[in-house]
């Protein structure tokens, strides 16, 4: 029996997607083999790959002058790829907003290849908020401007898209496909799949075509966006099963009403949980109201001696993976697209009951 799964990633996948994958795992569309067992260059897999790209383009309304890449190495791979692909022009410095662990890792890697200007940081209050739009200024010259629209660990989300002159680069790993985004305002968007797209092992890069010409000499082949773009993301063998599963998720998203429907759902789900947290005496959110993530909801118990009991009883109740990230402790419920409203209802109901029982 399937349980409610609040894992931050690799995260829950839509059940209909898993059911279809299961049904055709040994015999894909009557071909006598698995989708895992065909050449990535075969006509049948090319169709899978192209449909996945088109569906993603449709869902996010990606303009024609952007390339969509399916790559390996996750968002962490892109922490290196971004400076390697964008510091080859006149400017070898970039602006970054520092909002927590993921922004921090991106900053650390980029600093190895050029100058990083941290134009804003929420470190002063333990990364519990996203800096406001009027709290920072873009540098005079910058190869790009990087931010993390949603911090998976801190549960902090920007409620605005920065307006900058430099190409805007965003790690959307834990927020992509959860709301409509103005792709045309970005230079490059990237996202590991394992939250809102598909299984781990594949990542999506959406990059404006003119940015494919700025790579540093010596860029490793596997990080080079231009080579990937020219090869249709098949310079080498791609992760075909992960690509196929991501494509099934895109089809499922379309059938659910697309990203606008997911956005409404995410507002409903997260509000349900935050409202409870704000009313509760036992549970609370450590994140500033204006910056609370719709995707990742960290929360703490007033008495942390109850943490272990909460975790074991919630698991017994069929509510999986509520432990917070090992670096921050506490609890976290991730409410990605594949997590149904019923899961959040069950969680809130369990938490209310738990609070009554321990009072």
**φ and ψ of 188, to 5 deg:** -155, 135
**φ and ψ of 270, to 5 deg:** -70, -35
User: Of 115, 144, 166, which Cα lies nearest the Cα of 215?
Assistant: 144
Q: Which of 171, 225, 252, 269 is catalytic?
A: 171
Q: Is 171 in the active site?
A: yes
CA distance 181 to 270: 19
**What number of other Cβ atoms are within 10 A of residue 129's Cβ?**
19
Nearer of residues 80 and 280 to its own copies, judged by Cβ:
80
- In the bound complex, what is the minimum distance in angstroms from residue 124's beta carbon to its own copies? 27
Q: Which of 55, 195, 225, 243 is catalytic?
A: 195
Pick from 91, 116, 202, 262: which binds its own copies (CB under 8 A)?
Answer: 202
- Binding flag, residue 225, its own copies (CB under 8 A): no
Residue 102 labelled as part of a binding site: yes
Nearer of residues 39 and 126 to its own copies, judged by Cβ:
39
Contact 49, 68 (CB under 8 A): no
- Binding flag, residue 33, its own copies (CB under 8 A): yes
User: Of 40, 158, 62, 138, which Cα lies nearest the Cα of 96?
Assistant: 138
Nearer of residues 174 and 293 to its own copies, judged by Cβ:
174
CA distance 87 to 217: 10
**What number of other Cβ atoms are within 10 A of residue 83's Cβ?**
26
- Binding flag, residue 111, its own copies (CB under 8 A): no
Residue 265 β-bridge partners: none
Pick from 46, 54, 72, 93: which binds its own copies (CB under 8 A)?
Answer: 72
Q: Which stretch binds its own copies (CB under 8 A): 35-43, 90-98, 140-148, 252-260?
A: 35-43
Pick from 145, 158, 241, 350: which binds its own copies (CB under 8 A)?
Answer: 241
Contact 147, 319 (CB under 8 A): no
State how beta strands 145-147 and 93-98 pair: parallel
Q: Which contiguous run of DSSP H or E holds residue 333?
A: strand 331-334
Q: Is 102 in the active site?
A: yes
- In the bound complex, what is the minimum distance in angstroms from residue 164's beta carbon to its own copies? 26
Tokens 């190409």 belong to which residue?
167
- In the bound complex, what is the minimum distance in angstroms from residue 53's beta carbon to its own copies? 17
Q: How many residues bind its own copies (CB under 8 A)?
A: 66
- Binding flag, residue 19, its own copies (CB under 8 A): yes
Count the helix, strand and coil residues of the chain and give each as a percent rounded to the nearest 5.
Answer: 40, 15, 40
Q: Which residues bind its own copies (CB under 8 A)?
A: 1-3, 5, 7-13, 15, 18-19, 21-22, 25-27, 31-34, 36-42, 72-77, 79-81, 84, 109, 112-113, 192, 194, 199-202, 218, 220-223, 235-242, 318, 320-321, 326
Binding residues: 41, 75-76, 102, 152, 171, 194, 236-237
Active site positions, annotated: 102, 171, 195
């Amino acid at each position: 029996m399937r349980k409610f799964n609040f894992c931050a990633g690799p995260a829950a996948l839509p059940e209909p997607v898993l059911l279809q994958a299961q049904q055709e795992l040994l015999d894909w569309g009557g071909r006598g083999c698995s989708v895992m067992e065909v050449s990535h260059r075969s006509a049948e897999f090319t169709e899978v790959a192209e449909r996945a790209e088109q569906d993603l383009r449709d869902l996010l309304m990606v303009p024609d002058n952007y390339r969509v890449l399916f790559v390996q190495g996750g968002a962490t791979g892109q922490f290196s790829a971004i400076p390697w692909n964008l510091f080859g022009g006149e400017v070898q410095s970039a602006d970054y907003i520092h909002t927590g662990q993921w922004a921090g890792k991106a900053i650390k890697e980029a600093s190895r290849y050029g100058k990083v200007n941290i134009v804003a940081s929420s470190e002063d209050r333990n990364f519990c908020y996203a800096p406001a739009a009027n709290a920072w200024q873009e540098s005079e010259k910058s190869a790009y401007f990087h931010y993390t629209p949603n911090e998976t660990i801190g549960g902090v989300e920007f409620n605005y898209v920065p307006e900058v002159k430099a190409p805007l680069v965003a790690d959307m790993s834990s927020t992509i496909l959860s709301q409509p985004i103005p792709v045309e305002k970005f230079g490059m968007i990237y996202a590991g799949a394992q939250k809102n797209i598909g299984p781990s092992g594949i990542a999506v890069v959406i990059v404006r075509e003119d940015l494919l010409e700025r790579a540093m000499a010596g860029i490793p082949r596997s990080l080079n966006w231009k080579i990937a773009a020219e090869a249709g993301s098949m310079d080498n063998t791609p992760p075909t099963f992960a690509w196929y599963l991501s494509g099934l998720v895109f089809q499922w998203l379309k059938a659910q009403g697309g990203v606008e429907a997911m956005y409404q759902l995410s507002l409903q789900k997260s509000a349900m949980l935050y409202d409870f947290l704000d009313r509760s005496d036992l549970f609370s959110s450590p994140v500033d109201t204006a910056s609370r993530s719709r995707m990742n909801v960290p929360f703490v118990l007033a008495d942390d001696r109850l943490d272990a009991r909460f975790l074991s009883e919630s698991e017994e109740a069929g509510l999986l993976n509520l432990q917070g990230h090992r670096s921050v402790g506490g609890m976290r419920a991730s409410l990605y697209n594949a997590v149904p409203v019923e899961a959040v209802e069950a969680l809130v109901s369990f938490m209310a009951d738990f609070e009554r029982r321990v009072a």
